[in-house]
Amino acid sequence: MASCGEGSPSSDHVLPKYGSVYEPLKSINLPRSGDETLWDKLDRYYSAVKSTILNYQSPTTGLFPIKTLGECNEAKVRDSLYCAASAWALALAYRRIDDDKGRTHELEHSAIKCMRGILYCYMRQADKVEQFKQDPSPSKCPHAAFNVHTGDEVFSYDAYCHLQIDALSLFLLYLVEMICSGLQIIYNTDEVAFIQNLVFCVERAYRVPDFGMWERGSKYNNGSTELHSSSVGLAKAALEAINGFNLFGNQGCSWSVIFVDLDAHNRNRQTLCSLLPRESRSHNTDSALLPCISYPAFAVDDDALYNQALDKIVRKLKGKYGFKRFLRDGYRTSPEDKNRRYYKPAEIKHFDGIECEFPLFFIYMIIDGVFRGNSKQVKEYNELLDSVIFQSYDGHAIIPKYYYVPADFVEGEQRNHGSQKRFPSNSGRDGKLFLWGQALYNIAKLLVDGLISPRDIDPVRRYVPPEDQRNVSMRYSNQGPIENDVVIHVALIAESQRLQVFLNTYGIQTQTPQQVEPIQIWPQQELVKAYRHLAVNKKLGLSGRPERPVGCIGTSKIYRILGKTVVCYPIVFDLSDFYLSQDVMLLIDDIKNALQFIKQYWKMQGRPLFCVLIREDNIRGSRFNPVLDMLASFKKGNVGDVKVHVDRLQTLISGAIVEQLDFLRLNEEEEIPEFKSFEELELPKHSKVKRQSSTPNASDLEQQPEISIDDWNQKSSYEILQKMNDCNCLASQALLASILLKREGPDFYMKDGTLMDELERIYRRAGSRKLWSVVRLAASLLGKLVDSLAPSITNVLVQGKQVTLGTFGHDEEVISNPLSPGVIKGIIYSKCSPHGERDAVLQQELVIHIGWIISNSPELFSGMLKIRIGWIIHAMKHELKIRAGDMSAQDLYQLSPSEVKQLLLDVLQPQQQGRSWLNRRQIDGSLNRTPLGFYDRVWQILERTPNGIMVAGTHLPQQPTLSDMTMYEMNFSLLVEDMLKNIVQPEYRQIIVELLMVLSIVLERNPELEFQDKVDLDKLVKEAFNDFQKDWSKLEGMEKQDEMTSFYNTPPLGKRGTSSYLTKAVMISLLEGDVKPSNDDPCSVS
């Protein structure tokens, strides 16, 4: 194959034995004897690995440079890891020979030296690891590139994109694989503590947008980060591999074991499943997914999802010379400006069709084929690879880094993709080697030649063939979507002895905390306190596990802590300061959801143990019957479709998983913390539970204040105070307190303390009386924040959607990346409180509900790209109006949290057929729901409208939009939503959506037509409405009016449907412009 780039060598450099370095390998038939011994085969590999990889290993750090010519001081973690893996793979092959002449030792220790070199570089960044645990941002992460000889930092955060979760995860994965094969890499407790802290960093991968494998983040290469499937997948694989793993191998003890938060791991798994087959918001697909879904991570458990992702990669990115990294990738293409780090807007259009192709990914496909036993795939990609690799002067295969289209050929290639010859990068010449490619090539050839097996280089069994999946015992994850038919063990714990006696009269057997002794029952916060001491290391400045709550999976295990046996009750039973915990129907719903979750995701050997905590408060008043029904269903052994088995806690322990938290004994200097177990209520003997000790649900009248806020705004603070003292109405007291709060501030002193103390009293009283409107007002004035707000928003974001917070008709804040609870609280209160205090807490309620619903029933949100919380509240209020008919509608704020959740579920259901078109459009418009293929159709319209589209004062230009983006890109869909965001009326928004669908169909059927001017959607709707009015005034004798209700209430299809008027307006507008001549125009004479 001809080469280009740096001139040709003279003919005397060509060795007759091997042919030219510029010839493809397939044209060179190396003479090999048919009876080549195992030693000879391995000797050939040893020679190749030494000359193409190990000769470049740094003698000091063990790292590998990214370039092999001249003085290159830069080493990247990812490239070095693959080089170490190559040496280790050959060492595994040499283990089959008795007399290996010391080569096994040399190769193993080359790998160990590299792994310890990376560990050394990372450990020097312990301060960054500590910062990153608390605040995972691009300017606080451990570095991903180091000085190859010293391990020093080589680039600042401004000069290089260091945040690469996949590289950090790959290090942990290979560390486990190598130790599992018998290598000793970790030496002491400092190193164990450090690795544990790296695990803490990786656990949060599902909510950390990074720069990804290509170190560029967004496809536009503008310095922005994205959530990448490849990074989340590598993190998931690393966490599965390292969970419960002993870093000292067979010689370790309990304190060298690594702990993984299984609930965090599960969030990574859920996130990966919802992101795939897409790589990120701007990358529709990407070759970076190959190491994620295949070797080395094998992160996808579902074969159908694996096939879907792989098929997309092959279809869109495979070429003759390799795979493109992703579409419109400008890396090393001829038009790319080498002097600029970032691209300009719309610049990526120049790279369309001329992206470099990387032979590296042919090698990944070969390895994948070997693992999956697909010989056809191995043969296909072997042949493709042979045609694009070269031979060095000493007879070793050289893998070019990429193939590019030279500048002279760019135009021809863009006109006809695949028509031009490509040329190899200079990595394959004059000693310039692409070490990542060389390393992976050696692993692939060892596998293909049968010198090592997949089990050798995957001792932790990341890949499990489908036929073996049921039989594999793994520390955490049984791969494969096996139907989980787990029976959940349930222990019923009563808060007091008198409650136990009371429940016993209804046939419900429970135990009290005293009766389960010496077993202790802890809230999950105490477990968090214990975990705080995990991997604390003062020498390295590491503080241990961040204070993250323990989820349902974590609380379903039994713990041995400082000689005690501990059972934790799930977070749903925690007494929260937020009012949701006061709604027992919501608690029952949460319990059922938690059981469903455990059933679906429990993959360990023992049975999960679910501790149900029953408090006296749960059975007061109207709460009693629903709680009794739930307890009865536990007794029957079925809750929903989840099988449960209720028994005494002492009996259930034998079948459970036991986690030993021995790390608390390790540090003799530190004081052992005191832990508070759940204690039984101390009550007078013979006292009885009073079932009706709370008032029944409040009437609507009690929720209404007796006063007018406008009147009292004019009065003095003294008068307001007097009224608060005299008044018994909690709704009025809350309203008066809100006036004082704005006027005097939170520290204003009253009779029994500050204003905030008084508000707390109102909040608690209103909660016990179920005055939900008052509760919400008081909660908002107190600035209450619900638990799990940030994870709930993250649940929505990872489904490829955005969240907006803010009141309907006012300013909204768009959230597109995970945020901390404090930041979210600031947004909610600043955007909602000025327009209605209660919205600030109601929006928090909805975020919690939506986060759960979208994880379990994502289909309810189909067609909704932006989850606009304020607009959803508007839809719910409208639903209440529809239900009320001519009566006055229920006040949304007076509904209990469980009723709000049910109303939300009802609103999200597809619209009922019996409804008027006005109501359907109002609800769908409020939900921002769009039809299937809507965004693709807007793209097609934009292709035919040179001056773009205009609606509600927002302009979507044709350029640079079409140059910068591709049709199926998530970012384009979000841009369309951005164009629609200024529309005020939900029903009008829905008419605009219908108009865009009509527009695309008209343009599709009339390819000769094109808009000459900007497409003004408002103008088209106005013209359609005018036409509609003319017809109706003739038919009905109605006068013309500006109000469009009758238009909104008209069906889209049929005679005089809205679509016919919209189509007519579109055609008139199109025919006002020029008609493009077409070659096959039937009206053309010549």
Confidence at residue 479, expressed as pLDDT on a 0 to 100 scale: 43
> Highest mean pLDDT range out of 197-211, 473-487, 748-762?
197-211
Radius of gyration, alpha carbons of the chain: 33
Higher pLDDT, 688 or 44: 44
> Highest mean pLDDT range out of 6-15, 115-124, 298-307?
115-124
pLDDT at 820 over 90: no
Confidence at residue 13, expressed as pLDDT on a 0 to 100 scale: 32
Confidence at residue 721, expressed as pLDDT on a 0 to 100 scale: 86
Confidence at residue 2, expressed as pLDDT on a 0 to 100 scale: 36
What are the percentages of helix, strand and coil residues in the chain, rounded to 5? 50, 10, 40
Higher pLDDT, 377 or 968: 377
Total residues belonging to the chain: 1086
- Say what percent of the chain tops pLDDT 90: 61
Confidence at residue 1076, expressed as pLDDT on a 0 to 100 scale: 58
Return the DSSP state at 249: G
Q: Could you give the 3-state DSSP secondary structure of residue 140?
A: coil
CA atoms within 13 A on the CB side of 709: 12
Confidence at residue 686, expressed as pLDDT on a 0 to 100 scale: 61
What are the b/e assignments for 349-377, b being 16+ CB within 10 Å?
Answer: ebbebbbbbbbbbbbbbbbbbbbbeeeee
What is the mean pLDDT of the segment spanning 494-520?
A: 92
Q: How confident is the model at residue 30 (pLDDT cuts 50, 70, 90)?
A: very low
> Highest mean pLDDT range out of 277-281, 447-451, 700-704, 729-733?
447-451
What is the mean pLDDT of the segment spanning 944-953?
A: 92
Taking the C-alpha atoms of residue 833 and residue 820, their distance in angstroms, rounded to an integer, is 20
- Average pLDDT over all residues of the chain: 87
Q: Could you give the 3-state DSSP secondary structure of residue 127?
A: helix
Confidence at residue 689, expressed as pLDDT on a 0 to 100 scale: 65
Model confidence over 769-812: pLDDT tens digits? 889 999 999 999 999 999 889 889 988 988 889 999 999 999 99
Ordered DSSP codes for 268-332: HHHHHHHHTT--SSS-SS-GGGHHHHSTTT-----HHHHHHHHHHHHHHHB-SSSEESSTT--TT
Taking the C-alpha atoms of residue 914 and residue 901, their distance in angstroms, rounded to an integer, is 23
Model confidence over 924-933: pLDDT tens digits? 999 999 999 9
Write phi, then psi, for 987 (nearest 5 degrees). Answer: -65, -35
Higher pLDDT, 584 or 380: 380
Report yes or no: 2 and 365 within 8 Å, Cβ to Cβ: no
Its pTM stands at 0.88
Q: Could you give the 3-state DSSP secondary structure of residue 1067?
A: helix
Return the DSSP state at 543: E
- Pinpoint the alpha helices (H) of 520-662: 524-531, 584-601, 624-636, 649-652
pLDDT at 472 over 80: no
Q: Which two tokens stand for residue 715?
A: 């009065």
Model confidence over 821-880: pLDDT tens digits? 889 999 999 999 889 889 999 999 999 999 989 988 889 999 999 999 999 999 999 999
Confidence at residue 4, expressed as pLDDT on a 0 to 100 scale: 39
Q: How confident is the model at residue 68 (pLDDT cuts 50, 70, 90)?
A: confident
**For 808-964, where are the E strands, in sequence order?**
813-815, 866-868, 949-951, 954-956
What is the mean pLDDT of the segment spanning 1010-1026?
A: 91
Confidence at residue 685, expressed as pLDDT on a 0 to 100 scale: 57
Taking the C-alpha atoms of residue 409 and residue 426, their distance in angstroms, rounded to an integer, is 18
What is the mean pLDDT of the segment spanning 684-713?
A: 64
Taking the C-alpha atoms of residue 971 and residue 978, their distance in angstroms, rounded to an integer, is 10
What is the mean pLDDT of the segment spanning 880-884?
A: 92
